[in-house]
């Protein structure tokens, strides 16, 4: 089921085309990564989707309706936008209770949500004393108050320590894969979401540059074979004779493009070269990401 649908969305701030004819959709039960460098238009897209910013043209729908037309928005969509959007003098519990009241949710949800994000012990503390990681958890607690079927997160990993990021991954995956929630999560660091997302949407300078599964993204790349051998120089001409393109990034290391690991292994055997490492390089997602989003 399509939970989020963005069609030909455009928004300019003065002369800057922040979002330029962007279209993509997010299915229930999946985690979609919305990726792009800083300033690519990720936040603007999400804010248009949430009715905070009015798009110049195009549509952004949640469950087939614009956000502003939702009867009980927090019960349908949860959003984490900035880690700083709390009144510093208000306690975590009061922050959530204020929202529960406005959204018509039972106030008991406040403590349940705090429990869920691991902030139960800090419920009565003023937010001013919270670390960035605690604020992110509180923001996530805010987003899940109404048990929404759609979750939208803008750079949620900012400020989380490695353990927090690991926790966040598990949290998002279980929401999507076990409870069928549609999760859209933005990030400017691909490696941060790489292990969490099912699909990726990549945006650069306001325009969509890629949409598809993570596997499709890596499939596009060439995967060279890396060989570590003291006598690498002897191996290179042999491989080139077999049609490979060989580069030598440093003495004793070859990167072999255009042929499989088996061909390289055969060459090693034929030449009787001592090899200390022979590996098919994992396609470097970060590199593909950089390539896709590079200034042209």
Pick from 12, 52, 209, 253 the residue near another protein by CB under 8 A.
Answer: 52
Site string for another protein, 128-167 (x = CB under 8 A): --------------x-------------------------
Min dist CB 293 to another protein, Å, is 22
Q: How many residues bind another protein (CB under 8 A)?
A: 35
Min dist CB 77 to another protein, Å, is 8
Round to whole Å and give the CA distance between 41 and 25: 16
The residue (of 110 and 244) whose beta carbon lies closer to another protein is 110
> Measured at the alpha carbon of residue 66, what is the angle toward residues 64 and 69, in degrees to the nearest 5?
110
Region near another protein per CB under 8 A, out of 101-109, 162-170, 184-192, 233-241: 101-109
Region near another protein per CB under 8 A, out of 21-29, 97-105, 160-168, 283-291: 97-105
The residue (of 97 and 210) whose beta carbon lies closer to another protein is 97
Binders in 1-40 for another protein, by CB under 8 A: 13
Region near another protein per CB under 8 A, out of 19-27, 42-50, 196-204, 263-271: 42-50
- From the number of C-beta atoms within 10 Å of its C-beta (0-12, 13-18, 19+), residue 187 rates as buried
* 53 binds another protein, rule: CB under 8 A: yes
Pick from 3, 33, 40, 67 the residue near another protein by CB under 8 A.
Answer: 67
**What's the order of all strands across the beta sheet hosting 2-13?**
16-27, 2-13, 57-62
> Measured at the alpha carbon of residue 25, what is the angle toward residues 40 and 105, in degrees to the nearest 5?
95
Pick from 2, 8, 101, 131 the residue near another protein by CB under 8 A.
Answer: 101
Strand-pairing partners, residue 277, are: 228
The residue (of 138 and 246) whose beta carbon lies closer to another protein is 138
* 274 binds another protein, rule: CB under 8 A: no
The residue (of 119 and 268) whose beta carbon lies closer to another protein is 119
b/e code 138-158 from CB counts within 10 Å (16+ = b)? bbbbbbbbbebbbbbbbbbbb
* 44 binds another protein, rule: CB under 8 A: yes
Residues forming contacts to another protein in the complex (CB under 8 A) are: 13, 43-44, 47, 50-54, 67-68, 70, 73-74, 77, 79, 81-82, 84-91, 94, 97-99, 101-104, 142
């Amino acid at each position: 089921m399509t939970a989020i649908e963005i069609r030909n969305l455009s928004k300019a701030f003065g002369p800057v085309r922040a979002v330029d004819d962007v279209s993509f959709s997010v299915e229930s039960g999946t985690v979609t990564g919305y990726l792009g460098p800083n300033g690519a238009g990720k936040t603007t897209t999400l804010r248009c989707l949430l009715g905070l910013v009015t798009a110049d043209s195009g549509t952004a729908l949640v469950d087939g309706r614009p956000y502003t037309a939702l009867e009980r928005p927090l019960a349908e969509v949860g959003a984490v936008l900035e880690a700083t959007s709390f009144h510093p003098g208000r306690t975590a519990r009061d922050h959530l209770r204020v929202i529960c009241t406005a959204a018509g949710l039972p106030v008991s949800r406040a403590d349940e949500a705090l429990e869920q994000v691991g902030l139960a012990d800090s419920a009565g503390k003023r937010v001013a004393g919270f670390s960035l990681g605690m604020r992110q958890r509180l923001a996530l607690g805010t987003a899940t108050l109404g048990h929404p079927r759609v979750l939208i997160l803008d750079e949620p990993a900012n400020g989380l320590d490695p353990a927090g990021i690991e926790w966040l991954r598990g949290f998002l995956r279980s929401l999507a894969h076990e409870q069928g929630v549609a999760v859209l999560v933005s990030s400017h660091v691909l490696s941060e979401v790489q292990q969490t997302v099912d699909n990726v949407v990549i945006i650069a300078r306001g325009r969509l540059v890629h949409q598809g599964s993570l596997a499709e993204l890596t499939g596009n790349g060439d995967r060279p074979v890396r060989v570590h051998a003291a006598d690498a120089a002897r191996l290179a001409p042999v491989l080139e004779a077999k049609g490979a393109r060989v580069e030598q990034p440093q003495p004793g290391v070859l990167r072999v493009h255009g042929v499989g690991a088996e061909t390289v292994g055969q060459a090693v055997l034929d030449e009787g070269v001592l090899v200390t490492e022979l590996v098919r390089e994992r396609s470097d997602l970060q590199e593909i990401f950089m390539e896709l989003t590079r200034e042209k």
